[in-house]
Amino acid sequence: MNTRRDFLRKMGASALMLQLGSITSFSSAANQIGKPYEGRVLRVAIMGLGGYGTRVAEAMKACTKAKLVGVISGTPSKIKAWQARYNIPEKNCYNYDNFDLVKNNPDIDAIYVITPNALHHNQVIRVAKAGKHAICEKPMALNAREGQEMIDACKNANVKLLVGYRMHFEPRTLEVLRMRNVGDFGKVMFFQAQCGFKAGDPSQWRLNKALAGGGSMMDIGIYAINGARYMVGEEPVWVTAQETKTDPLKFKDGVDETIQFQLGFPSGAIASCLSSYNISHLDRFYLSGEKGFAEMQPSTGYGPIRGRTHKGELNQPITTHQTVQMDEMATIIFDDHRPAIPVNGEEGLKDLKIIDAIYQAAETGLKVKVKG
């Protein structure tokens, strides 16, 4: 019955790669070794069929624990195309006006919100009220107040809220964390992150404050914030920040072009970070401890992630981030699996509190305490 071909198909290529790797202690994939997945499959509808939604849908083809079964979109022609491409039944298709009806649909477990940032808050709350688990893209919301409201709504509805932090499942990243945890770097003293690219089309929603909630910080700077937290392994207590704007026509009021920011951690470790929509080739992490270092470049792109430490090259398996993320999220939702780095709403809220503090620090020039 269980032929090798069946086994390979069910496991999916990326899950297999994970099995062959050395991060089994970090991944629930370890549970699968030697047998196909027979647990509950997470049935997901994607809301927002744009660039990243498409990437997630493609990656989910290789999932073994999660499956794309529905769509929510305001564009009927896109719905038709996705139905054909992913074999999605009519009864699992919704638009932004009627998706609350998903509460009557027993064939969808979770909705993955992949729309412009400003829409996440309201859409996740509606998902929660419909009784479905919510997976939300980063940034989870525009500010900490909104984030807290989303967490409360999901708690009240007894559904889970997860944030699409795909790097939290990336094997080379997890290896650096493992090394830090066993003391290979000694006391961590310093972290540096450079995250940025040149934003193209000036009319895109990412450069519209009402839809993006800000500029580079909301989109790419959040990788530096989140990375600082998981690489140092502490929560920052203060921030300072400086904004630079060279093109005020393209980057209007409230849309940050470039922000440099610094974070201070309780141990005394510090971080120095750069977030930019106008500087290319910025995708680098550097962690320095008393006994060693880790350097990753690219550090948060879609991969492959590359890096080395004072002990040599990082050579853990290369994965499709979104495939592993969605398989892991299935086990987080159904089995209360706890990933090495959390991806829950509280994790998203921590980043939002830091973003709030960074914007305040950039505006005032003051050192700002991060709200606990």
- Which residues are known to be catalytic? 138, 223
State yes or no: residue 49 binds ligand NAD (CB under 6 A): yes
State yes or no: residue 205 binds ligand NAD (CB under 6 A): yes
Burial 188-201 (b: 16+ CB within 10 A, else e): bbebbbbbbbebee
Q: Hey, which residues between 119 and 178 contact ligand NAD (CB under 6 A)? A: 119, 137-138, 164, 166
Minimum distance from residue 115 beta carbon to ligand NAD (Å):
4
Minimum distance from residue 254 beta carbon to ligand NAD (Å):
17
Minimum distance from residue 321 beta carbon to ligand NAD (Å):
7
Q: By rule CB under 6 A, what string of x and - marks binding of each residue 289-328 to ligand NAD?
A: ----------------------------------------
- Distance between CA 82 and CA 76 in Å, rounded? 10
Alpha-helical (H) ranges within the chain are 4-11, 13-20, 51-60, 76-86, 120-129, 144-156, 171-181, 209-212, 216, 222-232, 321-335, 345-364
State yes or no: residue 215 binds ligand NAD (CB under 6 A): no
Sort 216 into a burial class: Cβ within 10 Å, 0-12 / 13-18 / 19+: buried
- Distance between CA 338 and CA 57 in Å, rounded? 24
Residue 134: what residue type?
A
DSSP string computed for 231-290: HHTS---EEEEEEE-S-TTTS-TT--SEEEEEEE-TTS-EEEEEEESEEEEEEEEEEEES
State yes or no: residue 52 binds ligand NAD (CB under 6 A): yes
Minimum distance from residue 244 beta carbon to ligand NAD (Å):
22
Closer to ligand NAD at the Cβ: 186 or 304?
304
Q: Check: CB of residue 82 under 8 Å from CB of residue 106.
A: no
Q: By rule CB under 6 A, what string of x and - marks binding of each residue 217-246 to ligand NAD?
A: --x---------------------------
Closer to ligand NAD at the Cβ: 51 or 312?
51
Among 21, 53, 214, 348, binds ligand NAD (CB under 6 A): 53
State yes or no: residue 197 binds ligand NAD (CB under 6 A): no
Closer to ligand NAD at the Cβ: 51 or 372?
51
Under 8 Å CB-to-CB from 80, ≥6 apart: which residues? Answer: none
Q: Is 194 helix (H, G, I), strand (E, B) or coil?
A: strand
What does the binding site for ligand NAD look like in residue numbers (CB under 6 A)? 48-53, 74, 114-117, 119, 137-138, 164, 166, 205, 211, 219
